[in-house]
Structure 1
Amino acid sequence: MSFKLLQPFIGIVIILLTISCKVEPEAIEYGKDQCSFCVMNIVDKTHAAQYVTKKGKQFKFDAIECLVNDLNEKNEQDLAVILVADYGNPGNMIDAKTATYLISTGIKSPMGANLSAVVTLEKALELQQQYLGDIYAWEPLKKNTFPIINEIY
């Protein structure tokens, strides 16, 4: 078989490999996607989270505490993207490493850790005035262990 006949097939294979290795987050399908940690359906647009590995594998979570618990078993260096829902803008995902977090019993999260994320420290302070609670940055937050209160097992 001549090389000219193989060129279209080689091109198609290269395109398929390039497309299948995209390292960007997919939109969460609320009500359809399941949490990669606790296997509950993801329905809450104010507390969802996700990460994408450097190989492009997607992991979605119904609550930020599920993400944090899952990351305790992973090497964060293998991840390309880590996103959390912006409590102040439901459905909008923000960078987990730059977000500010509030743990407050006044704001209930799906798994009961009462953990929410916002874009800025100022937004977190506003929420804290309204709901009370403790404010965290990403690194200190990861040191917490969150018991899963609403276990489905």
Structure 2
Amino acid sequence: MQRLKQLSIVALLLIFTSCNVGPQAINYGSDGCHFCKMTIVDKVHAAEIVTKKGKVYKFDATECMIHFMNEFDVNDIKLYLSNNYTEPEALIDATKATFLISENIPSPMGAFLSAFKTEAEAQKFQSEQGGRLFNWNQLLAHLNN
């Protein structure tokens, strides 16, 4: 009886932890981009979409994520994440990020697009590298034209 109780508790824990809806670590050098199929190697430009059901889609660049968004009903998406340019491998909320398009900062797919956690960080890089700043909605409009 005690053994059955222990197995039941373990089973419940597995059920609750397996339903965790959140980002997954990107395995650089082995994970592939869901849009362009390239291997994700750039640790400052990668991105992810996490659906409300917990499915994670990984991308080698934010621009790939944006182009792949047409595959979804936006109501099914829980998170849009981009790597923070100033902190390699750190995923940030893309809808709150500031983006810089600067031809002096190459990105994997040639859009010269980098994400920054704060507008101040983005402005600092803009003053050094040139380019144009965008918030999430402005970036969507710019890339979908």
Q: TM-score, normalised by structure 1?
A: 0.84
1:65 pairs with 2:69: no
Displacement of 1:75 in angstroms is 2.2
Distance in 1 separating the partners of 2:84 and 2:33: 18
Matched, 1:82 2:80: yes
**Secondary structure at the residue paired with 1:51?**
strand
In the TM superposition, 1:32-47 aligns within 5 A as 32-47=30-45
Per-residue CA deviation, residues 116-152 of structure 1 (Å, 9 max, x unaligned), is 00011111111111111110000111123379xxxxx
Partner of 1:30: 28
- Could you tell me which runs of 5 or more consecutive residues in structure 2 were left unpaired when the two chains were aligned: none
Q: How far 1:39 sits from its partner (Å)?
A: 0.8
Equivalent residue in structure 2 for 1:56, among 54, 57, 67: 54
- The alignment of Structure 1 onto Structure 2 pairs a total of residues equal to 145
What secondary structure does 1:72 align onto? helix
- Match runs of 1:2-151 below 5 Å: 13-145=11-143
Structure 1, unaligned stretches of length 5 or more? 148-153
- Native 8 Å contact 1:52 1:79 kept in 2: yes
User: What code does the residue aligned with 1:79 have?
Assistant: I
Q: Is the 8 A contact 1:113 1:146 kept in 2?
A: no
TM-score (norm 2): 0.88
Q: Give the percent of matched residue pairs that are identical in Structure 1 and Structure 2.
A: 44
* Larger radius of gyration between Structure 1 and Structure 2: 1
Distance 1:103 1:91 in 2: 19
